[in-house]
Structure 1
Amino acid sequence: MASLIESYEHQYFGITSEITSQIGRIPNLATESKQNAISNVDRLMEEAKELLEQMHLEVRGLSSDIRPKYTNRLKSYEKELERLERDYRKSKSAFSDKVLREELLNGEECTQFENQRSRLLDNTEMVERMGHSVDNTFQICVDTEEIGGQILSDLHSQREQINRSRTRLKETDAMLGKSSRVLSGMMKRIVQNRIVLICIVLIILITIIVGVYLAVHKTKKD
């Protein structure tokens, strides 16, 4: 299932790259070509959203130990798509402003050429910024994945420590139970020995008393 998500990711990267390229071209295309480019970008936007929805469905079916990694990636992809939508709206607005300026200039070709060159430079800078932003987003995804992996590793180690502590507690409890039984047995034997000792002492005393009594009684008879 993770390989399917990665396949969706490759498709998503290809679509967003095409969207970025189209957005940079829109302000400098002829009217008909611009309309086609806008329609193409609208279609690509829908495809990107559908891919994100498919990835969301696949992520829900992942096991809990790897799901956070792909969830963080999806959040980054959603933010990137939102940024592309904002740039797309700006690009369409720039297209509308340019058409209006061309109608007002009424064929002033030199001025129009300068304006087009200026806008081309601006658009080139915007495309470069978009490229840097995509690189930054990818780096954030990689860093987030590493942090998530480290957190999962730490949680796994802590769980093992807790299990070992639980095992030691069980062993200690068993040893305490055994020691308690041994002590109970020793106390019983001590009590029994004391009872036997008391009985022996009583027998000796009774024997002495009887012996003394018999000796005294015999003396009186004599």
Structure 2
Amino acid sequence: MAACYDDYDRDYNAHLQKIRSYLAGNRSRQTLSECERLLEEARKCASAMQGLAEVEGNPNRVMESKQRIERDIGPLSREVKRQLNDLGRQDLFGDTTGTYQAPNGSFDENYNDMDRLLSNSEDMLRNSLQLCSDSEEVGTSTLLQMGRQREQLETTSGHIDATRSAVEQASVVLRSMGSKAFRNKAFLKGVIVLMGLLNLWAFVHMVRRRQ
């Protein structure tokens, strides 16, 4: 079964959690190499999430997936590469203590990298809050619009019921008028026939009197 956006999101966060735990401990060449591998896996997860978001047509998720690489993977990748370069220089010049010694200025660089990571995390939180606020506004606007549409449908339904009632009343009136017209027509025909008969009787009576 194909993985969904949430599956890639869980894998992505799991990879980053392992990387941060490795960097917080003993930064040996083996752990740094593992960090590089995990960073590549996290990058693949972010790319997959971006592709799925584009297919779904979700602009918020597309933007969030793009920001993951710059916000999370970029700083961590630079930190891992810097640590590997430091280990390479240490192997080149030798280490008499047998432990890792940070070169001059590495503390400031670490501090700056951590400061950038914290700043990126704050930006991520602000963006998330903004997305939540925007989603809440969209949801509220949608609910209001649906409420207005419901009122319009109820009003339209009331108009339809009133129209149906008027049509039924008009049908009753038309049937009554048709019945009255039929009776009046029959009455007029009876009167005409009666008048014809009276005229015929009067004519016959006049003829008889002349004879």
Matched residues in 1 for 2:119 and 2:204: separation? 125
Unaligned residue ranges in structure 1 (runs of 5+) = 1-14, 47-74, 218-222
Tell me which of 151, 159, 176 is aligned to 1:157. Answer: 151
Deviation at 1:149, TM superposition (A): 0.8
Aligned to 1:97: 81
Aligned residue type for 1:167: D
1:124 paired to 2:118:
yes
Q: How many residues align?
A: 176
1:120-155 deviations in Å (ceiling 9; x for gaps): 332222122111111111102211211221232133
Aligned to 2:54: none
CA gap 1:122/1:85 in 2 versus in 1, 3 angstroms: closer
Tell me which of 163, 171, 180 is aligned to 1:169. Answer: 163
| Range moving further from structure 2, 124-133 or 107-116 | 107-116
1:169-188 residue pairs with structure 2 within 5 A?
169-188=163-182
Matched residues in 2 for 1:172 and 1:198: separation? 38
Aligned to 2:105: 111
SS at match of 1:110: coil
Higher relative contact order (CA 8 A, sep 6+): 1
Aligned to 2:190: 196
Aligned to 2:203: 209
Question: Structure 1 length normalisation: TM-score?
Answer: 0.58
Tell me which of 6, 27, 31 is aligned to 2:27. Answer: 31
CA gap 1:116/1:105 in 2 versus in 1, 3 angstroms: farther
Aligned residue type for 2:65: E
Aligned to 1:82: 65
CA gap 1:88/1:82 in 2 versus in 1, 3 angstroms: same
Matched residues in 2 for 1:146 and 1:26: separation? 41
Aligned residue type for 1:119: D
Unaligned residue ranges in structure 2 (runs of 5+) = 1-9, 46-57, 91-100
1:132-143 residue pairs with structure 2 within 5 A?
132-143=126-137
Identity %: 8
Matched residues in 2 for 1:80 and 1:139: separation? 16
Structure ranking higher in helix proportion? 1
1:184-217 deviations in Å (ceiling 9; x for gaps): 1122012112112202311331232133223212
1:77-121 deviations in Å (ceiling 9; x for gaps): 855873575344334313322313433564564321221232233
SS at match of 1:31: coil
Matched residues in 2 for 1:126 and 1:22: separation? 16
Aligned to 2:4: none
Deviation at 1:27, TM superposition (A): 9.8
Tell me which of 137, 140, 145 is aligned to 1:146. Answer: 140
Aligned residue type for 2:131: T
SS at match of 2:104: helix
